[in-house]
A and B are shown apart, each in its own frame.
Chain A
């Protein structure tokens, strides 16, 4: 099977969907002539031309809103945000307009927009550029949110997102862009709302999403090698819809749970996951649910401190041992 980087996988998803459906257009800052701030859209202008791949001014509220409007008429815009942190200047369009239009029109209007871009800390760029808004956005019914951790999932989820008839927000991660993995050539999608067991185990379930999955897999290896613990890692992949069944099946198997995410803890995704587990599998638990998230402060700039702030394999191991104690 071909090996692609996470970046190439996302690009491949866009290429294939642009070929498949002429209504798919790409818009964003520096996506066309500059080939993308992170080179995710490299070559797409050349291949599809300026009618399909469009550079925008630095007007997120304007161009995202324009994309929402265009999607109402059947265009399938794939909007790139240079950072999801910049979505905050377009919040009304992203939440109020895209998220509510179907409901408020009694189902008369659909909004098949995709907004994608990196949403992560860990890159030493300070608080304004390090937001992880998946929990905040997923809190709004009408919106779908996915967070791929691997090249395979990145491609499959983005293709599913582009074909989806509702707004789907894809949270990528700049630190993962160079990660490599197997990605099939043939057409496939990863259905939105299906979690994936990235590692099977029997003693402890770790539930994670985005880069926290990679961190958790590293921690699982350490736990196995140094502590003889068999860890199952469940990758949520999709935050909303959420795959309750896969989470609960794993809990029924291991009876111990650690939740890991790069969000700040307050009202994080894992707050919801913990609630679901205790309400639907309370009797299965042999220990209180553990949790690792970013230290609860705006993102610190200083790199060595930021590395402490976001979850590391060492912190996951430490927390796992507490749950297992």
Chain B
């Protein structure tokens, strides 16, 4: 009797609810005429295609460079997920910011980081975007409102929430997009960030890039949820939505709603974007045991975000086969040139190991406030 209230609890669902559009990915997008997309010119649409193609060719070139032994450590590829970074970031304005995890190359290229410095970073060269100090997981470009590139799962969630707080504090009408994976939603830091964002009315958008797996663990094996990962937002009184990440129009449309909410009401949103990674978790993952070859093939053949966008634009008469070929050729060429640039670049100097640690140490002068030895050796 004392436990009667528990009997009303809903049974724990094991399968996630997916957005409707995910079921028929090959059809024309229901979001083509959405206000977020209605204003797109032909050139805009081609540019979105180009941006996805650039990411894919960059990543494919990375595989080759890795196999040549020129990239070590971890290399997490974004292939298959391109429409998420390109779609979400394409609706942002000048005061909007982003932060992500270690699968960060797609976002970097989309915000305008150049392939040369991105490739050089992977090879640990001094010309890399982080001077060879960060590596694949730690890209940064604050001048492009891109705050990383973070290696610790979920660690970026409070940071992004802090960026949103800073925007609000400074009276800027902007927001911060915080990307994370479907495994990251189980980090405590993410939940603390959710609470702060909702409690303090912060203009932040949490984007769960749900590619179905966290390393070798399928989403079902890692996460208790009330029907979707995004729906956990309800526990914090936040808005949320499910997004088909294979449909660029839909990604743009639903992100735009969240951005508007952030800009106009300072309210946070959780977006769960369904997507898929074609390669292993990182290059170190042989990807042989935890998912079906058929499953990967199915996504590659039927739901590839670039192919679907290409089809959409061919139907609209925006793209032609010739244009598709030339865009891909140019992207491949750009990636190859980046690899050459990285090859030809020097490694950082030994002295540089102890630079960039403290502002104070790099700017010693009469204005600095600390004294004493702060770097040993």
Contact = CB atoms under 8 A, between A and B. Distances in A.
Contact of B187 (A58, A128, A264, A266): A58
B377 A305 contact: no
Contacts of A126: 73, 133-135, 137-138, 151
A266 B354 CA distance: 14
Given A265-B377, A297-B375, A300-B348, A55 B124 contact: no
B347 A302 contact: yes
Contact of B135 (A61, A124, A295, A304): A124
Contacts of A309: 353
B216 to A, nearest CB: 4
B169 interface: no
B288 to A, nearest CB: 10
B138 A296 contact: no
Interface in B91-141: 121, 124-125, 130, 132-135, 137-138
Interface string B131-160: 011110110000000000011111100000
Contacts of A30: 215-217
A295 B138 contact: no
Interface in A296-318: 296-298, 300-305, 308-309
Contacts of A123: 72-73
Contact of B347 (A85, A295, A304): A304
B135 A308 contact: no
Interface in B200-257: 214-217, 221-223
A33 B138 CA distance: 29
A129 B76 CA distance: 14
A191 to B, nearest CB: 34
B187 A89 contact: yes
23 contacts: A30-B217, A33-B216, A33-B221, A37-B215, A57-B186, A57-B222, A57-B223, A58-B183, A58-B184, A58-B214, A58-B222, A124-B72, A129-B74, A265-B377, A266-B376, A294-B377, A295-B377, A297-B357, A300-B353, A301-B132, A302-B133, A302-B348, A305-B124
B135 A34 contact: no
B188 interface: yes
Interface string A142-155: 00000000000000
A6 interface: no
Interface string B29-63: 00000000000000000000000000000000000
Contacts of B376: 264-266, 296
Interface string B318-350: 000000000000000000000000000001101
A29 B353 contact: no
A216 interface: no
B346 to A, nearest CB: 10
A62 interface: yes
A298 B73 contact: no
A266 B289 CA distance: 43
B348 A305 contact: yes
Contact of B289 (A34, A61, A128): A34
Interface in A117-173: 123-129
Given A89-B188, A265-B376, A304 B353 contact: no
Contacts of A293: 377
B216 A301 contact: no
B189 interface: yes
Given A301-B124, A301-B133, A301-B134, A128 B151 contact: yes
B347 A296 contact: no
A62 B191 CA distance: 12
A30 B284 CA distance: 14
Given A30-B215, A89-B188, A301 B183 contact: no
Interface string B170-205: 000000000000011011110000000000000000
Given A265-B377, A266-B376, A308 B183 contact: no
A86 interface: yes
B151 A129 contact: yes
Contact of A88 (B72, B152, B183, B377): B152
A178 interface: no
Interface in A261-316: 264-266, 293-298, 300-305, 308-309
A23 interface: no
A125 B135 contact: yes
A126 to B, nearest CB: 4
A304 B70 CA distance: 11
Contacts of B73: 123-126, 301, 303
Given A300-B348, A301-B134, A302-B348, 9 more contacts: A61-B188, A86-B153, A88-B152, A89-B188, A126-B137, A129-B74, A296-B354, A297-B357, A305-B132
